[in-house]
Amino acid sequence: MTELNAAAEADRALKAKHRTMWSLGDYPAVATQVVSGLGPELVRACGVRRGDRVLDVAAGSGNAAIPAALTGADVIASDLTPVLMEAGKALAAQQGAELAWEEADAEALPFEDGEFDVVMSCVGVMFAPNHQACADELVRVCRDGGTVGLVNWTPQGFIGRMFTVMKPYAPPPPPGAQPPPLWGDEEHVAALLGDRVTDIDARRQTLRVDRFGTPEEFRDFFKAAYGPTIAVYKNIADDPGKVAALDDELAALAREHMAGGGGMEWEYLLFTAHRRVS
């Protein structure tokens, strides 16, 4: 097998692993019950309006794509995981939203250069392993003067810290993969996009989460519903000591963020920019 073929085969295997991970549990429940406010916020920040051609990259079950479609925009929701898109189609039908769904790899989008007025991703593209490849694709498919908009969890915020807690219990990342929460660092994102964009607006904001009454309720919900957390627990399933330790650490993290009240504030980066006119 040539080096090029070996790399392609490794990439296919990695993407299959990611597809399986996001098929675990019930991510649509996370999207609708916990983080539903993020999508509409991103749509507003991108200024999506009727008639716009919009691409939602790593759209999952449509947290941002469906609100965009409800504005009257012409929307394509793309994702690597068919089971999430099937859930999204059902949610869109319930809300009367009309949009297209297309299976696609965020690192190699099957769309033409400059095809969209708005290219966005809501806590989605951050989980692809090759950050630069994703950034290149986001810019490539956006028209000159169009908008690139992103919502991603910050490294310092609750979800970023959750990934730090889980890291020692997770299998080693593939060679070259970068941590997802780096997409929540404004300097990292600006460097990825480079001088191909202008008018950068990067704001750290918080999502109020009132879904969980106790730290243990948060932990158990994410153990059952959130693919990355499920995958980490599967990795240590044969070691009860590690399972108990991770249980304790996740509950402690949630308890820290619930201090002074039942709700939590989860920090994210809202990042928008315009594709430079060439």
Per-residue confidence band for 174, with pLDDT thresholds at 50, 70 and 90: confident
pLDDT in tens, 238-259: 999 999 999 999 999 999 999 7
The mean per-residue pLDDT over the stretch 165-184 comes to: 92
Whole-number pLDDT of residue 120: 98
pLDDT in tens, 203-237: 999 999 999 999 999 999 999 999 999 999 999 99
Could you tell me if 153 and 268 are in contact, meaning their C-beta atoms sit under 8 angstroms apart? yes
Give the whole-angstrom CA distance, residue 117 versus residue 46. 10
The pTM for the full model equals: 0.94
Q: Is the pLDDT of residue 262 over 80?
A: no
Whole-number pLDDT of residue 4: 59
Whole-number pLDDT of residue 11: 79
> 207 is written with which tokens?
């999502």
Per-residue confidence band for 96, with pLDDT thresholds at 50, 70 and 90: very high
Q: Is the pLDDT of residue 176 over 90?
A: no
The mean per-residue pLDDT over the stretch 95-116 comes to: 98
| Listed residue (200, 207, 205, 185) closest to 270, CA to CA | 205
The mean per-residue pLDDT over the stretch 57-78 comes to: 98
Phi, psi of 258 (to 5 degrees): -95, 0
What would the 3-class secondary structure string for the chain be? Answer: CCHHHHHHHHHHHHHHHHHHHHHCCCHHHHHHHCCCCHHHHHHHHHCCCCCCEEEEECCCCCCCHHHHHHCCCEEEEEECCHHHHHHHHHHHHHHCCCCEEEECECCECCCCCCCEEEEEEECCHHHCCCHHHHHHHHHHCEEEEEEEEEEEECCCCHHHHHHHHHHHHCCCCCCCCCCHHHHHCHHHHHHHHHHHEEEEEEEEEEEEECCCCCHHHHHHHHHHHCHHHHHHHHHCCCCHHHHHHHHHHHHHHHHHHCCCCCCEEEEEEEEEEEECCC
The mean per-residue pLDDT over the stretch 104-126 comes to: 98
Whole-number pLDDT of residue 14: 81
Instruction: Kindly list the structural domains of the chain, giving each domain's residue range(s) and its CATH number in brackets, ordered by start.
Output: 3-206+267-275 (3.40.50.150)
